[in-house]
Amino acid sequence: MPWVLVALGLCSGAALWATAPADPDGPWAVPFVRGYMIAWLCYLAAAVLATRAVRLPRWALAWIVAAALGLRLIALERTHPLSTDYWRYLWDGRLINAGVNPYRYRPDAPALRHLRDANWRRLSFKYIPAIYPPAAELLFAGIACLRSRDAEAFRWSSLGFDMASILVLIALLLRTGRPAERVVWYAWCPLPVAETSAGAHVDAFGLFLLLVALLLAARSQGRPGPASALALAGAIFAKGFAALTVPFFVRRGGWRVLVLVAAACLVMLAPFVGSGLHLFGGVSEYFAHWETNSSLFSLSHWSLAALGLPDNYAYYITRALSTAAILVAVAWLAVRQGPGTEGLLRATFLALASCLLLGAPTLPWYVIWALPLLCWWPIPGGVLLTLTVSTQYYLRWAYGDRYHLLLWIEYLPVYALLIGQFVWWRGRAPGPRGRAGMFSSGAPRSAATTAGGKPWRG
């Protein structure tokens, strides 16, 4: 049985190798999606096998981690670049190193003409100033110090942070008494493999810091301390998603956590205060226009527009309703937060998942923020989303005229699975685990042991 895991890892690597287009300058979306789907099927089989196996040899975990690295290296080399964002990272980093505030000037500003080079043409949205939070911008500046003309370093750094996240997830699984092999639900998923290696998104950095904050809290039975609060602040200012998790950390660690998070954020903000209100220019543009690939958000927007509301009013009303719904979901999760580390983990990743389903946009690389949830609770709808969110998003490059049809194909089966599981859970007779059953990760393997017979350390 363990050798099946080896074969599935090799098949997944072969599928990712095939994502490269036959012609480097030719169409790439269809070959990518085809290889991605095959890799996803191998991933699903391997994850189910690793989760259901009663016993795996000691080398199985080493193989999972080694294969995870191999998959990312293959994607780095073979997969067509899935984003141009890293060119913007390089630009912002160069601006900071030149003493220019990236929040104050748009890339197409005449005052920055002397800093333009051949890479400047690769930038998207040149009319928008910096949109990334200060911790991300400081990271960009640090990497740009090493490679001021080449964005390749950003792809390697993204891959490195993602691999570090896998190691932190293993430590968290062991802390909660779960088999470390469950990390395969994240480690072999083609979504983070592609988006961190071929996309080089800064989300890998933010998720790593959030996982570190959770691990530091887990060392104190799920009670965040100063170090955990500082890591959380870094995650928030790497990508704003992590701000949704603050109530859960505050409830477990007290108000000093909030004070420390706020103080750390102010320190990271200090180098950029000279930009004034320009600090929010890029973010305002983002929230005022972006709804790509969203589900309930798009449905609400279309419905309001169909009722005769002007499109801009329909959008702003939908944005307000969406934000309110996310805040209600976070408040509900904070009130119902369970005890211990698993309670903190569950609330954290469910809040991030609710943002993906209720908010906009829902870009594939955003989904990695909620993906660690599967290591504890492999929810079928969430697993399927890792396939459909990427296939729909990238197929639009080939079938853009069928965008709305692709959107329905993406989300209908996901919501059907989520609703079906919820109905099934509610219909179950109360058992020893009561209503916690939907998010019970089940007992660890028989006798809660590793393959060598030694107990898992919780």
Between the CA of residue 278 and those of 101, 113, 200, what are the distances in Å?
10, 20, 26
- The pLDDT score that the predictor gives to residue 6 is 94
Per the CB < 8 A criterion, the answer to whether 140 and 87 are in contact is no
User: Which residues neighbour 224 within 8 Å (Cβ) at sequence distance 6 or greater?
Assistant: 213, 216, 217, 232, 249, 252, 253, 257, 344
Quote the CA–CA distance of 367 and 205 in Å, as a whole number.
14
Exposed / middle / buried, residue 305 (Cβ in 10 Å: 0-12, 13-18, 19+): middle
In which residue are the tokens 């509301």 written?
309
Quote the CA–CA distance of 390 and 36 in Å, as a whole number.
9
Quote the CA–CA distance of 255 and 326 in Å, as a whole number.
22
Residue 5 sits at the vertex; the CA angle it makes with 171 and 166, to the nearest 5 degrees, is: 25
Q: Residue type for 56, please?
A: L
In which residue are the tokens 């909030």 written?
258
DSSP state of 334: H
For 243-276, how does the pLDDT look when each residue is reduced to its tens digit (9 = 90+)? 999 999 999 999 999 999 999 999 999 999 887 7
CA-based nearest residue to 180, from 192, 191, 171: 171
- Reading the chain (458 residues) residue by residue, the pLDDT tens digits are 678 999 999 999 999 999 998 787 778 999 999 999 999 999 999 999 999 988 888 899 999 999 999 999 999 999 999 999 999 999 999 999 999 999 999 999 999 999 998 889 999 899 999 999 999 999 999 999 988 788 889 999 999 999 999 999 999 999 999 999 999 999 999 999 999 999 999 999 999 999 999 999 999 888 899 999 999 999 999 999 999 999 999 999 999 999 999 999 999 999 998 877 778 888 888 888 888 889 999 999 999 999 999 999 999 999 999 999 999 999 999 999 988 899 999 999 999 999 999 999 999 999 999 999 999 999 999 999 999 999 989 988 777 667 778 888 889 999 999 999 988 888 775 654 444 455 554 444 433 333 333 333 33
- The pLDDT score that the predictor gives to residue 275 is 79
For 348-375, how does the pLDDT look when each residue is reduced to its tens digit (9 = 90+)? 999 999 999 999 999 999 999 999 999 9
Quote the CA–CA distance of 344 and 214 in Å, as a whole number.
8
Phi, psi (rounded to 5 degrees) for 310: -55, 145
- The pLDDT score that the predictor gives to residue 58 is 87
Quote the CA–CA distance of 326 and 318 in Å, as a whole number.
12
Quote the CA–CA distance of 333 and 140 in Å, as a whole number.
34
Quote the CA–CA distance of 107 and 92 in Å, as a whole number.
9
Quote the CA–CA distance of 104 and 421 in Å, as a whole number.
48
Quote the CA–CA distance of 126 and 272 in Å, as a whole number.
20
Per the CB < 8 A criterion, the answer to whether 176 and 342 are in contact is yes
Cα of 450 vs its chain's centroid, Å = 29
- The pLDDT score that the predictor gives to residue 93 is 95
Quote the CA–CA distance of 85 and 153 in Å, as a whole number.
13
DSSP state of 81: P
Give the 3-state DSSP-derived string for 231-292, with helices as H, strands as E and coil as C: HHHHHHCCCHHHHHHHHHHHHHHCHHHHHHHHHHHHHHHHHHHHHHHHHHHHHHHHHHHCCC
The whole-model pTM stands at 0.92
CA-based nearest residue to 370, from 409, 404, 318, 329: 329
Between the CA of residue 252 and those of 59, 208, 431, 433, what are the distances in Å?
36, 20, 28, 23
- The pLDDT score that the predictor gives to residue 26 is 78
Quote the CA–CA distance of 405 and 407 in Å, as a whole number.
5
Quote the CA–CA distance of 453 and 389 in Å, as a whole number.
40
CA-based nearest residue to 24, from 63, 66, 77, 64: 77
